Amino acid sequence: MEFSDALRLQLEWGADEALLDTPQDRRRAPTLPSGVQEPLAPRPRLARPVAVATSAGPEASAQLAASCTTLAALEEAMRGFSDCALRDTATQLVFADGAADARLVIVGEAPGGEEDRVGKPFVGPAGQLLDRMLGSIDLDRTKVRIINTVPWRPPGNRTPTEAEIAMCLPFLHRHIALIAPAGLLALGAVATKALLGTKAQNGIRQMRGKWQQVRIEGLPTPLPCLPTYHPAYLLRMPLAKRESWQDLLQLRSWLEDHA
């Protein structure tokens, strides 16, 4: 197998970071220090990094979220919440970035490796593109609120499962309700589907650039929500930046009208 094929295979398996300073050939048996016996018992099999089970339904998160009357209380409650198994594999909760009284809440998918390490959403390559996108319409992180559909990094950066999204949805709604913004920007298919539910019948390519109304638990009226491409998709598909720019222009004029 070519070295590049082996690397690609590891990426497909979910490897996305190197933790050791020196490379190790994992295909060879490890050399044991002299005098150390090979253990007889078979090694426990590693859990596959797919569809991590959750131990309870969304009722637990719904009850907890509903009891939070401030963002600080919500953050503390989420930090202590142990019913979502994503928390066990993530380094830390990635709560939010930006203003607590923002008129626009931007909703991403889930933290990646960089976000998991730093504890802030959108600080990796997709985040740097998001910063440039915001800058192009005279916005920056201090003027918006940035959160994710699920606040813990899924292992190997896989897409969060429906059960994980359902479990985290009450936290997302509560977060939005406590900010009470004028509107939402949904980045990518996962955030769009989580926010729009059954209204998201088409893929992101059909839904992007079209304002929708989203009912948020705890807010008296639905919020306008603009779905657009996720910056990570734009990094892979630079041609889609043209449509994304149209969406940003639309967002800018909407914000001007709703100043």
126: contact with ligand URA by CB under 6 A = yes
108: contact with ligand URA by CB under 6 A = yes
Pairing of strands 183-187, 212-214: unpaired
192: contact with ligand URA by CB under 6 A = no
111: contact with ligand URA by CB under 6 A = yes
Q: In Å, how far are 30, 141, 145 from 253, measured between CA atoms?
A: 61, 18, 19
112: contact with ligand URA by CB under 6 A = yes
* DSSP state letters, 30-51: PPPPTTPPPPSSPPPPPPPSSS
In the complex, minimum distance from the CB of residue 66 to ligand URA, in angstroms, rounded to a whole number: 25
154: contact with ligand URA by CB under 6 A = no
Residue 37 or 142 having the CB closest to ligand URA: 142
Write down the residue that tokens 């149209």 correspond to.
246
Task: List the one residue out of 198, 174, 178, 194 whose CA is nearest residue 186.
Answer: 194
Residue 108 or 170 having the CB closest to ligand URA: 108
Q: How far apart are CA 112 and CA 119, in angstroms?
A: 10
On whether the CB atoms of residues 89 and 64 are closer than 8 A, the answer is: no
Contacting residue, 65, 102, 110, 172, with ligand URA by CB under 6 A = 110
Task: List the one residue out of 244, 232, 19, 251 whose CA is nearest residue 123.
Answer: 232
Tell which positions 14-43 bind ligand URA, by CB under 6 A: none
Q: Nearest to ligand URA by Cβ — which residue?
A: 108
Which parts of this chain interact with ligand URA (CB under 6 A)? 108-112, 115, 121-122, 124, 126-127, 148, 232
